Structure 1
Amino acid sequence: MTSTPDISRRRAPWVPGVAVAAIALGLAWGVHLVLPAAPILTVCVLLGILVAQIPQARSALDGVLAPGLTLSAKRLLRIGVVLLGLKLSLVDVAGLGWLTIVVVIAILAATFLVTWALGRWARLPGDQPLLLAAGFSICGASAIGAMSAVTRDRGRDAATPVALVTLCGTAAIAILPPIGAALGLTDMQFGAWTGASVHDVGQVVATAQTAGASALAIAVVVKLTRVVMLAPVVAITSVVIRRRGGGAGTRPPIVPLFVVGFLIAVVIRTFLPIPETVIGAADVAQTVLLGLALFGLGTGIRFEKLVRTGGRAVAVGLASWLFIAVVSLGAVQLLPLA
């Protein structure tokens, strides 16, 4: 006789994995409340990575929990990316001035191309060069997840890039503030540098807030300017892959549906008066969805495999991190920032 729990798991096999991801999200939120400098999404990835290193947990991660973790890392991530658009007002971006906007986009484009070229030169497998380029140039693990949705491997190469962009972004929280102080950067310069070079939005907030409210304000706007570029970059990538794809069944849509949703959310935030309560609720929902997704992505990382096969990826990631940090530092010192 089949028990009720067995029937439930058969009808909704994703429930156990999503439930475990939700527990991890709760722990990450608790850590953030105790240590505000620890971004929730970063902690979610780190918890996923930590759990994946426990040998006793791997049979469950690869078995009963796999459907829910896969759902979180793919479908829920796309919904979270759509809600991320509600953080972006094109009015705020325009307030930076055309010169700052051009410089930020130029840094992003240069980082993307340099990282992709380094990845190809290092002969990284599959779509890792593309995913590393997206993560380090745009918005960290969220960009990697969004880009993996339109690549040929559908996310199989995402684990290593997610690990690298998370570790580098977390290190930036501790490394950038003392460097900024030693170089004598103004609060505005430090904020712009942080927004232009640190990967995840939460990591930007954690880093920039050390220099005060003015640094945090410009850091978030500069960072969100980079996030705006997620839509065109993913759409262009999808078009290129579609043209190079073999059969029509393997081709991604010209513009992925979640990218369209992201752009609609940006337009809504820019042109419609949305109540702050709605913005706040959407922000919480976006954090929840991306937290579940990034925990799921983190569980796919195995350090022993990274050590055996990821040496070149680590070198490319560190080179990309150094490139965007140095180039953006030089750029913000030339910009007319108070």
Structure 2
Amino acid sequence: ETETGTNVDVGVSTVCINPREENEITLAGFGNDNRGYDGILDDIEVGCVVFSANGVKCAVIAADILGWDMEIMAQLRERVERELGIPQDNLLFNASHSHSGPTTQKNTVGIGVVSESYNAYLTELTFQCMQQAAGDLETCRLYKGTAPAENVAINRRRVVNGTMQMSPNPNEACCNECDVIVAKRGNSFKVVLFSFGSHPSILNGNYISAEFVGAARTVIENRYEGATAIFVQGCGGDAKANITDETQTRFISNRYEDVYILGNRLAQDIIRYIDGGKLKSVKGDVAVKVSRFSLQLQKNIKKKEDYVTLAEENRGHYLHKVYRWYYDHYDELATEVPFMLQRID
């Protein structure tokens, strides 16, 4: 190594978050609000990396779920600040967006029924993971880089006969690179944190899976002894797992072998980059920046009853149940949507 990275205390932990038999979950994703659960193909997990330098602590928490529920994050922020001393604004939650995990979000439409018992279980396991990571701090050197990842994702929107369809489109934008952060203790790897933008949605059955990102983690951990691999979802947008027919006009779904094929493809891109000596040392302290703001909603909904009208106009379409859901769950019309942006350097 020609450069020495900044010394930062780093702790890491992962915990399996497979549902228990009594949780009675449904799986999230694909606009199906009654998707069953028949078993587990591979383990799903929550991972946490804690960074500490010059009195500043922050944590990245990543789980193999479609998305984090607002109540779960609020509970964890308060408890972690109180019991572990990490400020609430210094906790960055990320979901892999796996379409083969339990439904956890209450504020979304048509993706499954939330199990309160599983959400409570997930909350406790996540705290345990964060607690273990906070107690695992070791002085490390940090390195970063951006690895090419050309054939992992493909755009999923194509106009066919004047209609926008869910179809592979190699000519439109998608993620083709993967950000990597490595923490090393001496010459050994402690953490490989990698971020790539794509929907993990190869599988559409009724089985739990961490999808191709979980497979990528396993390959990376097998390559670097002692390392813990953590995946952070990037900007997936209209990027989907690049598993298509030979003509690239149709996605192929629900072949479990493709989970490993694509996960290994992403992992090998990362491994080639790391082993090629292309990582650069990270210099400086840990810093966190948070910005809160609201976006104004378009005022095309004047009164609550407008949702009923829109629902009827969209009968037979996915939007029908969306508008009905809003009518059933909200007494007042929202005028804005709050956002929170976090940056960890």
TM-score by length of 1: 0.23
Structure with the bigger percentage of helix: 1
Larger relative contact order (Cα-Cα within 8 Å, sequence gap ≥ 6): 1
Structure with the bigger percentage of strand: 2
TM-score by length of 2: 0.23
